[in-house]
Structure 1
Amino acid sequence: MMRAEDQGSGRSDVTSLLSQMSPQLVIQRATNLHRRIQHHIDTLAPYTMERWGFTGVLLVLFMLRIVLAHGWYIVCYALFIYLLNLFLAFLTPKFDPAFESDLAAQDVEDGAPGLPTSATAASGGLMSDVFHPPNAKDDDEFRPFIRRLPEFKFWISATQAILLSLLATLFSVFDIPVFWPILVLSNT
C-alpha cells in the first residue's frame, strides 16, 4: 500500500526498502544467520544415533521417491557415488604409513637435507615427524587411528547430499532418461 507522501514521489514500498538496505546490513544478517545455524548444528553433535537415524529416514524417503516415481536415476546414481566416496574417506586413515616414503620425498622437494630414505626420518625432515616422532620407539609406539573424514563431517555431508537429491527430484529437469546398462558398465 502506498502512503500519501509516497504517491507524490512515485516510489513504492519495495523500492524504498531496497534503498535502505546496505551491503553491510546484508553481510551482518547473513553472518547472524550462519551463526544461528552453526549453533543448532553444534547442539546435535552428542546425539549420534538420532542424527544417523534422521539421515537414514531421509535416505529411505529418497529411495521411495525414486522407486515410486520411476525416475531421477541419474540423481540417485550421483548420490550413491558421492556417499560411497564419503564412506571411503571415513574409513581411510589420515596418515597412512604406506605413504611414508612419499612424505620423505616431499621433504626433499621442500628443501629438507638428505635423500628420501628411511634415514630421512632420523634427519628431521619437514614431514618426517608424522610417523617417527623424535626419540620414539617404533615397536611400542601407540598411534591412534585418525580418520581422514571425521564422523560428524561425514554425517553433515551425507545429510546435505540427501537433502539436495530430494530437492532435485522435485524438478523434472533433473529427470534425465538413462539406459541403465550405461550406468552399470561405466563403473567397470
Structure 2
Amino acid sequence: MNGENGEVGDSEEPVPLPTWRSNLHSKFQYYLDRSVPHLLRRWLMTIGVAMIYTLRVYWVKGFHVVSYGLATYVLNLLIGFLSPNVDPELEGLDGASSPRKDGDAYRPFERRVPEFRFWYAITKAFIVAFVLTFISVLDVPVFWPILSSYWGFLFVLTTKRQIVHMIKYKYNPFRIGKPKYKGN
C-alpha cells in the first residue's frame, strides 16, 4: 500500500518466506500424492526409517522414554487401524440409524484410521523420534526393563480388548474386498 491513501502499488513484493513455504508444501504434497499407489515401497521406506531409529537408540544406549512414547503412539495408531470407523457398540445406542439384521446387506469394513494415514503417521513419528534423540535433555535415565514390561502389559491388554471386540461384532479388518460366492 502506498502511504496515506491506501492504494495498492507495484512497489509491494510478496514476502519470500510464505511463498517459499507454500512452494515447499506444494512440492511435498505432490510427491506424497504420487506415493499413494506404491504401498510396498512406502512401507519398505518406513521400515528403513524405523531401523535407522533403532540403530541410533542402540548406538547411544539411551532415549528409552522417547522410545516408550513412540511405541505407545504406534500402538494407538494400530488400534485405530484395526478399529471400525463406526463403532457397533455406539451405533445401536444412536437411535437415528435403522436397525440392521445380520444378513441385511454387505457393508465393507471401513477403518477408523485408513492405511495411508496410518503409514504417514508412523513414518512421521519415527522421524520425529529420531530427531528427538539428538536432544540430550530427553535422555532421561530409566530402568528400561520395567518400561518395556509395562509397555508389553499395555500391548496385551489393548490387543486383547480389540480382539474381543472383533469377535463380538464379527468383523475382520484383515479381509480384503467383498466376500465371494463359492457355490456348492
Instruction: Indicate the structure (1 or 2) with the bigger Cα radius of gyration.
Output: 1
1:56 equivalent to 2:47? Answer yes
- Residue in 2 that maps onto 1:122: none
1:10-29 equivalence runs, <5 A: 25-29=16-20
Against the structure 1 CA distance between its residues 67 and 21, is the aligned structure 2 distance closer, same or farther, given a 3 Å change threshold?
farther
Instruction: Give how far 1:99 is off.
Output: 1.8
Return closer, same or farther for 1:51/1:177 CA change in 2, 3 Å cut-off. Answer: same
Identical pairs, percent: 37
Q: What is the aligned partner in structure 2 of residue 162 from structure 1?
A: 126
Counterpart in 2 of 1:67?
58
Query: Within 2, Cα distance between the matches of 1:81 and 1:57?
Result: 20
User: Matches of 2:55 and 2:19 in 1, distance apart?
Assistant: 40
The aligned length equals: 141
1:84 counterpart = 2:71: no
Structure 2 unaligned segments of length 5 or more: list them: 1-11, 155-184
Code of the aligned partner of 1:51: R
Which whole-Å deviations, capped at 9, do the CAs of 1:64-116 have from their partners, x for residues lacking one? 11122110001111101101111110010101222223322xxxxxxxxxxxx
**TM-score, normalisation: structure 2:** 0.68
Deviation at 1:40, TM superposition (A): 0.8
TM-score under structure 1 length normalisation: 0.66
Q: CA RMSD in A?
A: 2.3
